[in-house]
Amino acid sequence: MRRVQPVEEWDTLTSVSKRKSTYITSLRKHRSPFLLHKPQCRGTEETLSDCSWQNITLPDSCYTRQRHTVLTCANSSEVEIHLAGGHLPSEGIPEVRCHPDDDWSTICNDLQWDVRDCRVICKQMGYKTCTSWRGDTNYDLDGKDILFSSVTCGLDERNILECSGERDPTDCDFDGDGVAWMSCGHEVNILGEDVLLCGSQHSCKDRCGDWQRDAGCHCDAACRDLNDCCVDYEEICESIEQSEWPVQVQFPDSYTAGKYACTTVGSGHSRREIFTIDKCPSAGVGQATRDACEGAYNVTDVFATTPVVDSAHRTYRNIFCAICHGLDVEAVTAWDIVLQYVTNHNDLQHDAVFDVTVPEGDFYTFQPHPSQRYRWCATNILTECTPELKNTSHSRRCNSYYAPISISHFYDLPTYKNPDCRNCEGYLNYLSPPFEANYCMEKVWRCFGLGEIPCRAVSPFVLMPDAFASLEFKYSKLDDYGRRAGKPCLGQGVIYDPFLDICRILQCPTYYQNVAGVCVPSESKYEILSTSTVVC
């Protein structure tokens, strides 16, 4: 219950006590509805509602340019804090309150919210450090207050309330920025030593059956064949029946060893590393089709670079890999193809083939449709220590578990099988606050001021297009695209490629193979005809 000090009116600073905790009410300008006006308390009241308040008869009795009160804890050592909505207790949305009877408050996500603020909360809760931070726009405020509309911590605060910041609850863009989300990671014991991992992306807690992640390890039955199980998969998932797993969407193939490969698709910021079927069968496939399926990556050939998915949700590296496995072009669906560009970069023009207005000269990329499933993986992964560190504890742990990490998110640098594999090179021994776990972080830094760490975090420093035009491409409409372009393509298996603006062989008829760009009878045709003749 609140005990209120005797005051005639709210001053610029008024102390309010509640049990053993002391609170401060600070006055700030807000443009929001008011509830009560000019309190008059004697100090014996149990709650603010027991005080006398000036009678309000008109909605404009408290002008919008006047100030109202915002409660914050003065005794920061008694503040309660937890992380809500995460798969692990060490991650989620930070919620704060001064007393068990109080409602929870949270923190707005803006450009000031970064690893330093996250790290203070992690240390306050007893964890080692912050492993990642971002915003969450799906959070339901449900009447909760905003503790900080903008928070700025350094490296020495022991409590989030010791940090500076703004307390204006109206200055928070919930729809655009959301509220703060964070992770302190989690520790697992590997061969007798605790190792800090990156939170739920490295755990199967509440995620058994899950294989649709954009990072980390996986928790489904196929992870044994693909060697990408989380370190706690056996303990958490294999101890219960698969029918009881929270995720029941199975990977397309029950046995995957040797069938799928970790493949790089796309380029630049749209680059992904996913498991695909990227090889043709050993026989019965024309060399030109095999080369198009398995050949070097050519960013100018959209047909050869765009993954496709069949009705069983198997992902193929490209349309040619699906064709050499016996699928018709109309039986697969390409990932969504979009034209991306920076606005005002070029003059706009109308593309008659796809019926869309776009600038000339920018490039095509692709992204999976929400209904298309894919399995993340890590190429260029280092799985062992250097020879001089073969007999160290890091080397023994490096070979014992899968929790992929990367110190840098530039694509030409390797991914490590786990933090111990990275530590074999000595990097993790020299990470200073607040970067003790920067191998988990998804953001980089741009600094504009002076000092050791003067800047706040921003998104990864890459040139991002700010406009996209969806082309709604379908292989079943290739003839339509050719007619719109005024380029009807004739000949067996010849189609119009709307991206290269040429006629080309895509899929030869049954019993024919693509040889040097021409459909010719395949050897399997004569074998079948010969067998049929014998039977007859």
- DSSP string for residues in 161-186: GGSEEE--TTS--TTTT-EEEEE--E
Whether the pLDDT of residue 526 is over 60: the answer is: no
Confidence at residue 173, expressed as pLDDT on a 0 to 100 scale: 75
**Cis, peptide link before residue 434, omega less than 30° from 0:** yes
Rounded CA separation 339/233 (Å): 40
Whether the pLDDT of residue 419 is over 50: the answer is: yes
Three-class SS of residue 345? Answer: coil
Rank 34-48, 143-157, 439-453 by mean pLDDT and report only the highest.
143-157
| Mean pLDDT value across residues 95-115 | 85
Q: How many CA atoms lie within 13 A of 428 on its CB side?
A: 17
Q: What is the pLDDT of residues 186-239, one digit of tens each?
A: 999 999 999 999 999 999 999 999 998 878 899 999 999 999 999 999 999 999
Three-class SS of residue 526? Answer: helix
In sequence order, what are the beta bridge partners of 16? 4, 23
Whether the pLDDT of residue 92 is over 80: the answer is: yes
Residues in CB range of 297: below 8 A, 6 or more apart: 264, 267, 304, 305
State the amino acid at position 12 in one-letter form. Answer: T
Confidence at residue 427, expressed as pLDDT on a 0 to 100 scale: 57
Whether the pLDDT of residue 534 is over 50: the answer is: no
Beta strands in 342-425 (DSSP E): 348-351, 356-359, 363-367, 381-382, 415-416
Q: How many CA atoms lie within 13 A of 33 on its CB side?
A: 4
Name the DSSP class of 7: B
The boundaries of every CATH 3.10.250.10 domain in the chain are 83-197
Confidence at residue 42, expressed as pLDDT on a 0 to 100 scale: 61
* Burial category of 35 from C-beta neighbours within 10 Å (exposed 0-12, middle 13-18, buried 19 and up): exposed
Name the DSSP class of 50: G
Please report, rounded to a whole number, the percentage of residues in the chain having pLDDT higher than 90. 29
Q: How many residues does the chain have?
A: 536
Q: 0.75 exceeded by the pTM?
A: no
53 near 38, Cβ under 8 Å? yes
Q: What is the pLDDT of residues 267-315, one digit of tens each?
A: 766 778 899 999 999 887 888 899 999 998 888 899 999 999 999 899 9
Is 83-197 a CATH 3.40.50.720 domain?
no
Phi, psi of 305, deg, nearest 5? -110, -20
Q: What is the pLDDT of residues 58-73, one digit of tens each?
A: 334 333 333 334 445 6
Considering just the CA atoms, what is the radius of gyration of the chain in Å? Answer: 30
Burial 118-156 (b: 16+ CB within 10 A, else e): bbbbbbbeebbbbbbbbbbeebeeeebbbbbbbbebeee
Please report, rounded to a whole number, the percentage of residues in the chain having pLDDT higher than 70. 71
